[in-house]
Structure 1
C-alpha cells in the first residue's frame, strides 16, 4: 500500500514553498554602549550586509551621550560599508534649531535617509510635552527636515493604534499628516497578528494613503522583555506566546528556535498576504533575522554577481 500524503498546510503546501526570495528587507540597530556591545553590533552588521538591505537604521535617544553614539555609528556605516544608513531623529528634549543642526550634520556626513519620530515621553507613563521652541509632532519634524535638506524620510505607524490615540481613525489621520508633510514610507511598530497589519494596510489605503507601509518584525526570544516594549507602543502579545516560551529560560538554543519559528510563521502569513518589504528590529543580533530572511528565499548576493549573471544570460 502506498503511503498517504498529508498536506503540510491547510492549502496543501509547505509554509515556505512559494517563498521566491522576491522580498526586500531593512534592519534596525541601536548604538552600542560598551566595547563588547560594539563588537556584537558590527558582527551582526557584517552577517546581514550580504542580504543587501534597502537601508539599516540606527535608533536615537534624547540624551547627549546616546545622541553622540548614534551619530558615530551612522558615520561609521557611511565610512566603512556600502550600506545605506538611516538615522533616527526624535522631537524629545531639543529645540527645532538643535534638531535641525543634527540633521545638517547628518547630511554633511553623507546620510540621506532619516527615520523621523515624535519620541517617547521623558518619564515612562507620562505624556509627551515638546520643549519650548521644539517640534510638537512627527509631522512637524518631517516638514522641518524637508526644509533642511531633501532627505528620504520614514515615519512610524501603529497597526494596533498608538496608546495615546483616542480612536483608530485619529491615529490614521495622524499618519496621513506625516505623509502630507513629506514622509516617503511608514514602518510599523511590531505586532504578532498578521491580520492586524493586513487590515491596517487596507484601511489606510481606503483613506487615500498610497505610500508604502512596511511591517516591523520583532523576533522574540524574551517575552518578559517584549512585554516592556509593548506597553509603551500599544502592541498586543497573545497569551499563547507565553505558553510557547515556558520552561525555556535555561535553554537558549531551544528558545532561539522557538523565536525563529514564531516570527517566520508571521512573515510567511504576511508574504501570503502580498507583503514583499519587511523591517526587522534586530536588537543588534543577526541570527534570527537572517534565518527568517533565508526561509523567505532571500540569499546573499556577492558584490559583482549581478554583472556575472547578466553576462551569463546574454550568452544564452
Structure 2
C-alpha cells in the first residue's frame, strides 16, 4: 500500500463530520488564512487551540493566489490536523499547470490532508480583474473536480466548493450561477461553503434555487460563511475583495455607530457587528443549516462572542474568570 493511501485514512472527511451528532445547537467551523510571518503563525496556532477547545467541527486554511502561500498553507494545515482538528485545505487554479496541481494534491495526501475545497481563485493583484488561464493549466474548478474524481490516485479526496448567495459576479445571472454550482456538485463535490454574505434571504434563496433545479445534488450540504464585523474599514475591504455587497440598512447602522469617527467609536461599531452576525446565525440555525462557518481573519474573540450569544461557548474576557477561554 502506498504512503498516499495510508495517509488518506488519518482524518475524518468533512462529509462524515457534517453527519455526526454534536453537543451544541449546530456544528460550527472556522476559516484561517496562511500567516505572513512566524509571529502571526504562532498567533494562529493559539487561535486554533481556542477553537479546538470550543469544539469546532473542522477548520479550513485558505490558499494564496498563484501558490504564494503554498508551503505555509501546507505546513499550517498539517499542524492543525495533528491538533487534532479535521482540516480542510483550499486549492486554487491561479498560475498553476495541471502537473503542478497534481503535485500539490500528492503533497496534501502525503500529509494526511484529504479534505479539499476546490476553487478557481481570483486573478492576483485584482480579484475582480480579467481571468487569464495559465498555460498548461485549467480554467474552471469543475475541471479540477473532474480530474480528481477520474484519477484513482486522488479519488479519496473529499471535495467541497464555494457557492455564492448573491451569485458569482462573473456568472452573469443567478440562473447561470445555479447551473455552474450544480455542475460542480454533480461532478463529485459533496458540499459547498458560501462566500460571506450579510442578508440571510440571499442564502435561503440560493438554497431554494439549488434544490428546485436538482433535488438530489442541490440538496447537498450548503454551509453559510459568516464574517463577524469588527470595523467598517475591514468589512468594506472584504466586501470589495469578494464582490459581495453590504446591505444599505446595515451600512447605515454601522455608520450611526461610528458617529463620524470610526476610531473613537470602534467599540460601538464592533457591538453592532457582533449583534448582526449573532442575529443572522440564530435565523440560520432555525432554518436548519448543517454548520456555521466563521471567517476569523485568524482572531478568536469576535467568533467566540457570537458563539456565546448563541449559547454555544463561554463568555470572552478575563472579567468572566473561569468562563473565559484564553
TM-score for both structures, normalised by structure 2: 0.81
Aligned residue number for residue 110 of structure 1: 112
Q: Is the 2:200–2:280 Cα contact (8 Å) retained in structure 1?
A: yes
Q: Is the 1:100–1:144 Cα contact (8 Å) retained in structure 2?
A: no
Shift of the 91–64 alpha-carbon distance from structure 1 to 2, 3 Å rule, reads closer
Alignment of 1:115-126 (within 5 A): 115-124=117-126, 125-126=128-129
Q: Does 1:154 align with 2:157?
A: no
Aligned residue number for residue 180 of structure 2: 174
Q: Does 1:87 align with 2:89?
A: yes
Alignment of 1:201-220 (within 5 A): 201-208=207-214, 209-220=218-229
Unpaired runs of at least 5, structure 1: 1-19, 301-316
Q: Is the 1:27–1:281 Cα contact (8 Å) retained in structure 2?
A: yes
Aligned residue number for residue 291 of structure 1: 305
Secondary structure of 1:199's aligned partner: helix
Of residues 284, 292, 296 in structure 2, which corresponds to 1:278? 292
**Once the two structures are superposed, what CA deviation does each residue of 1:179-233 show, in whole Å capped at 9, x if it has no partner?**
1111010000111111111111112111111211111001111223322322343
Aligned residues: 280
Aligned residue number for residue 246 of structure 2: 237
Aligned residue number for residue 144 of structure 2: 141
Aligned residue number for residue 35 of structure 1: 38
Whole-Å Cα distance in 1 between the matches of residues 67 and 289 of structure 2? 38
Q: Does 1:70 align with 2:70?
A: no
Whole-Å Cα distance in 2 between the matches of residues 280 and 253 of structure 1? 20
Whole-Å Cα distance in 2 between the matches of residues 117 and 166 of structure 1? 18
Whole-Å Cα distance in 1 between the matches of residues 191 and 174 of structure 2? 19
TM-score for both structures, normalised by structure 1: 0.83
Shift of 1:299: 4.3
The structure with more radius of gyration: 1
Whole-Å Cα distance in 1 between the matches of residues 206 and 313 of structure 2? 29
Q: Is the 1:22–1:276 Cα contact (8 Å) retained in structure 2?
A: no
**Once the two structures are superposed, what CA deviation does each residue of 1:40-83 show, in whole Å capped at 9, x if it has no partner?**
2112111111232221110001345411111111121133x010
Q: Which has the higher contact order (CA 8 A, sep 6+)?
A: 1
Whole-Å Cα distance in 2 between the matches of residues 289 and 193 of structure 1? 18
Output the aligned Cα RMSD. 1.8
